[in-house]
Structure 1
Amino acid sequence: MRIGLCQIEVGDDPKENLAAVRAALAKCPGAELAVFPEATMVRFGNRLADFAEPLDGPFVTGLRELAAERGIALVAGVFEPAADGRVYNTLVVISETGELTGSYRKIHLFDAYAFAESATVAAGDEPVIVHVAGTTIGLMTCYDVRFPELARALIDRGIEVLVIAAAWAEGNFKEEHWTTLVRARAIENTVWTVAVGKAPDRSDPPRGARTGVGRSLLIDPMGTVVTDLGPFPCVRTLNADLTLTGKVRAVIPALDHRRL
């Protein structure tokens, strides 16, 4: 499977961010799946409710058009309106023909490091797997990576690739936590893991702190770092040999050894 890791900058204008998606897809030759960050629609630090749209709104419609135009399936982060005035932090999955094939509302909200995501974001409540680009993927968003039980629930639903999208906040040890947790989820589940973070903000957002550390990762089922995109905007397309999963699990059958 050929996967594009699209570590883009995200700004305050959804139209400009959609143009950044278009430019990134043009740099994914032969990709079957392109993964974009959490909050691709608009960066944190804005009044998210002012930008939130239903999944048939103009931003997701634009993503669908771009996916069909390039013939590449994609995952990207958007915001949906919630009934109580907050928003859902949602990942959408769009097929290479432009079909909206699935969506995941972030379950674990980042109420940590003196930040309260739950003040403006409502939590989802269901793990989501999606069949796209000839494989089955499971979805996690940013803070979700700290909860191994979610990754395991996705594995038990039969995923072949774990996709994690993030706009990881800066802070003491935060970057180390990100890279360590992503590798841990790959190792303990012996699964290909695609983790794409937003490139760091270059300017202060309208409200709140800067987010994004980059460091997008492709990790194989043995825990090998196939690529680390570092801290700058970058798009890289790489091959993931999905047959490696079975070979690793034959050597390390930890999933079969579970007793709890």
Structure 2
Amino acid sequence: MRVCLVQLEVNLAQPLAERVAQACETVRSCAGADLVVLPELWPQGAWAYREWEQTAEPLDGPTVAALAQAAKDAGVMLHGGSVVERAGDDLFNTSVLLGPHGDLRAIYRKIHRFGFAEGEAAVMTAGDEFLTVTGGELTMGVATCYDLRFPELFRRLTEAGAQMFVIASSWPERRLEHWRLLTRARAVENLAYVVAADACGEHHGVRQAGHSVVIDPWGEVVAEAGTEPTVIDVEIDPARVEQVRADFPALRDRRL
């Protein structure tokens, strides 16, 4: 199964239409992949919450339409990162999963909002449904950035059949070691792949961590990016999930 993680630099000084066009061209360059993943809130900026009211789009808006066309052109399943979605009076941090014909397969509205009493936690409405979806030869559980700190979500995804966790993120550089620790922990404790695309660069004074990563079900790093814009393009073995779970059947021994 071929997976491409697109580590984008979020430059809010660049017009949105140009950034969308560049991201879509990168998606097209991944033609032939089974899954392509973009970072969290790359169109509007994960730290530009004061502008979200003006920059939010409905899911039938131009950004998702452009992503759908890129997925169709490349013939890939595309996790479009996430966008600031306007739905009625509410704003959501919403991930879209698009099929290789540009069809909208599923959406995930981020459950855990970051910021405590500020930022995302103050401006956005929390999602209340977790998501698993079949992608390639594996069942994927979908999560977004801050969700990574809540292991109960990943255990519920595992119980629902997830063999791989797909995570879009805009994780800050100052907490890079938490990113590395938590991505590996979610893989190890659930004996599942972790495929996590992070943003890079800086916006609103917040430096992004980069270090997008693919981790196998034994917790071994398959590939990891640095801090520059890049594409991680790797082959993973879907059979490894069941192999590891059979060789080390820890999930079978759960009591709580």
Which TM-score band (shorter chain)? over 0.9
What's the TM-score once normalised by structure 2's chain length? Answer: 0.92
Partners of 1:20 and 1:181 in 2: how far apart?
30
2:4 alignment partner in structure 1: 4
1:18 alignment partner in structure 2: 20
Partners of 1:31 and 1:186 in 2: how far apart?
22
8 A Cα contact 1:11 1:42, kept in partner: no
Structure 2 gaps, min length 5: none
1:98 alignment partner in structure 2: 102
- Stretch of structure 1 that moved more, 174-183 or 124-133: 124-133
| Paired residue secondary structure (2:228) | coil
**Is 1:169 matched with 2:172?**
yes
**Is 1:236 matched with 2:232?**
yes
1:80 alignment partner in structure 2: 85
- Amino acid corresponding to residue 179 of structure 1 in structure 2: R
**Is 1:251 matched with 2:247?**
yes
8 A Cα contact 2:3 2:33, kept in partner: yes
1:131 alignment partner in structure 2: 134
Partners of 1:132 and 1:246 in 2: how far apart?
16
Q: What is the aligned-residue identity percentage?
A: 41
Post-superposition offset of 1:258: 0.3
**Is 1:142 matched with 2:145?**
yes
| Paired residue secondary structure (1:184) | helix
Partners of 1:134 and 1:100 in 2: how far apart?
19
| Paired residue secondary structure (2:206) | coil
8 A Cα contact 2:201 2:228, kept in partner: yes
- Amino acid corresponding to residue 186 of structure 2 in structure 1: R
Mapping of 1:156-195 within 5 angstroms? 156-171=159-174, 174-195=175-196
**Is 1:217 matched with 2:213?**
yes
What's the TM-score once normalised by structure 1's chain length? Answer: 0.91
8 A Cα contact 1:8 1:20, kept in partner: no
Partners of 1:108 and 1:55 in 2: how far apart?
20
Mapping of 1:49-64 within 5 angstroms? 49-64=53-68
Partners of 1:195 and 1:168 in 2: how far apart?
11
Post-superposition offset of 1:131: 2.4
- Per-residue CA deviation, residues 72-111 of structure 1 (Å, 9 max, x unaligned), is 1111211111444x51001110011100000101000112
**Is 1:67 matched with 2:71?**
yes
Partners of 1:222 and 1:210 in 2: how far apart?
32
- Stretch of structure 1 that moved more, 248-257 or 140-149: 248-257
Partners of 2:85 and 2:137 in 1: how far apart?
27
Partners of 1:62 and 1:49 in 2: how far apart?
21
- Per-residue CA deviation, residues 21-80 of structure 1 (Å, 9 max, x unaligned), is 223224325311100000022213431121211111111111101100110111121111
| Paired residue secondary structure (1:122) | coil
